[in-house]
Amino acid sequence: MAATTLLQTEALTVYDYRCSAGPDDVPFVERHQRHSVSYVRRGTFGYRYRGQTHELVAGAVLVGHRGDEYMCTHEHHACGDECLSFQLAPALVESELVDSIDDRDEAWRIGSLPPLPELMVLGELAQAVADGDSDVGVDEIGLLFAARFLEVASGRKRAPLRASPRDRRRAVDAALRIDANSHEANDLDGAARHADLSPFHFLRLFGNVVGVTPHQYLVRSRLRHAARLLADPARPITDIAFEVGFGDLSNFVRTFHRAAGVSPRRFRQLAQGDRKILQDRLNAVS
């Protein structure tokens, strides 16, 4: 089993699991260290838990309860399997994530859920986020996936968020802080602490008031600052990428192209009055 840590915060750890075990490998007992929901994106395997065997295929969700023992088997195929696993801190499970869901412990002990559209669409979005193809944060999609799992498993929808004037001010102040410091490292936990809110409540509140997630707003603030700087031909594009907060040039180029429809270099040419690029863009949207 190969495990890559994609994210580790106080509230959430996200792993990319890739298992190559097959029918000839002897299964062994393991123990869940945290409550978890793991999206199976490829392959198939068995999950023996609390006296039952669950057969998991692509699109299914493995559910882990902290402290419980389990065993994974690979009796049917030797193709291996891949999962995106969201491991939740106890405080997150026991408080803000559940809201009015009273039977949460029962939901965490169901073992698995079959491929369901309500979770598959978020699972694939989570994979796109992990691959860098979305500007949603890994921590954000992890919390949303876990919250949606609880709704589906318990059969109860979460109550709509009602933002008070004080909460709305918190969200606006958070947006101003993110924009002013968008060149620095920002994460959901830190932004939530500044707002004196739990990460999940902050995520819901920010999205309700601002209309995008905190990480989306962070990325878009960086893109906005980059677009202004690209108008100056004296500034190297690599320097701009790092100055506005992107960790590497390729991520900046990919994200900027996805937003603007052209590369940073072509955008700079457009800013310098290249009429052909402007006409091409106009023709593309006509």
Tens digits of residue pLDDT in 185-213: 888 999 999 999 888 899 999 999 999 99
- Is the predicted pLDDT of residue 135 greater than 70, yes or no? yes
Q: Where is pLDDT greater, at 5 or 96? A: 5
Once rounded to an integer, what is the mean pLDDT over residues 40-58? 94
pLDDT score for 100: 47
**Percentage of the residues of the chain whose pLDDT score is greater than 70:** 91
Q: Is 196 exposed, middle or buried (0-12, 13-18, 19+ CB in 10 A)?
A: exposed
What pLDDT does residue 96 have?
57
Given a contact cutoff of 8 angstroms between Cβ atoms, the answer to whether 223 and 253 are in contact is no
Q: Which of 39-53, 68-82, 164-178 is predicted least confidently?
A: 68-82
Q: Which two tokens stand for residue 115?
A: 């491929």
Q: With 80 as the cut, is the pLDDT of residue 129 above it?
A: yes
In angstroms, how far is CA 198 from the centroid of its own chain? 17
Q: What is the pLDDT of residue 107?
A: 87
**Each residue of 147-168: pLDDT tens digit?**
999 989 988 777 778 889 999 9
- pLDDT band, residue 71 (cuts 50/70/90): very high
Q: Determine the 3-state secondary structure of 172 from DSSP.
A: helix
Average per-residue pLDDT in the chain?
A: 89
- Contacts with 77 (C-beta within 8 Å, 6 or more apart), sequence order: 22, 23, 43, 44
Mean pLDDT across 81-95? 88
What is the C-alpha to C-alpha distance for residues 85 and 105, in angstroms, rounded to an integer? 19
pTM metric for this prediction: 0.85
Q: Express each pLDDT in 89-108 by its tens digit.
A: 988 887 656 554 455 678 89
